Amino acid sequence: MRGTEFSELRAFATIVEEGSFVRAAARLRISPPALSQTIRGLEERVGVRLLNRTTRSVSPTAAGETLFARLAPAFSELEGAVADAHASRDRPAGSLRINVPRIAAMRFIVPILGDFRRAYPDIALTIIVDDMLTDIVEGRFDAGIRLGERLHKDMVAVKLSGELEMAAVAAPSYLEDHPMPRHPADLHHHQCINFQWPGGGNIYRWEFARGQRAFEIAVNGGLTVNDTELMIRAALDGIGVAYMLDYQVRPWIEAGKLIRFLEAWSPRFPGFYLYHTSSRQVPPALRVFIDFLLARR
Q: Tell me if residue 29 falls in helix, strand or coil.
A: coil
Distance of CA 191 to the CA centre of its chain: 30
Q: Are residues 140 and 283 in the same domain?
A: yes
Whole-number Å distance between alpha carbons of 116 and 97: 14
Whether 192 and 262 map to the same domain: the answer is yes
143 and 116 assigned to the same domain: yes
Task: For residues 69 and 290, give the distance between their C-alpha atoms in angstroms, rounded to a whole number.
Answer: 28
Residues 6+ apart with CB under 8 A from 231: 193, 195, 225, 242, 244
CATH number at residue 75: 1.10.10.10
Q: What percent of the chain has pLDDT over 70?
A: 94
- Calculate what percentage of the chain has a pLDDT beyond 90: 67
Indicate whether 89 pLDDT > 60.
no
Grade residue 235 by pLDDT with cuts at 50, 70 and 90.
very high
Last residue within a domain, chosen from 85, 110, 143: 85
Are 281 and 200 members of one domain?
no
Tens-place pLDDT, residues 154-176? 889 999 999 999 999 999 999 99
Q: Tell whether 207 and 288 lie within a shared domain.
A: no
The sign of the CA dihedral 217, 222, 228, 231 is negative
The pLDDT of residue 240 is 97
Q: Residues 188, 69: one domain?
A: no
- Three-state secondary structure call for residue 33: helix
153 and 285 together in one domain: yes
Domain region containing 143: 91-161+271-295
Q: What residue type is 14 in one-letter code?
A: T
Instruction: Mark whether 68 and 142 lie in a shared domain.
Output: no
**pLDDT tens across 12-29, in order?**
999 998 888 988 999 899
**Residues 265-272: what's their mean pLDDT?**
92
Instruction: Decide: 177 and 208 in contact? Cβ < 8 Å.
Output: no
The total domain count for the chain is: 3
My answer on whether 170 and 252 are in the same domain is yes
Same domain, 119 and 253: no
Main-chain dihedrals φ then ψ at residue 24, nearest 5 degrees: -65, -40
Q: Report, as an integer, the average pLDDT of 42-71.
A: 89
Statement to judge: residues 101 and 222 lie in one domain: no
CATH of residue 224's domain is: 3.40.190.10
Residues 218 and 208 grouped into a single domain: yes
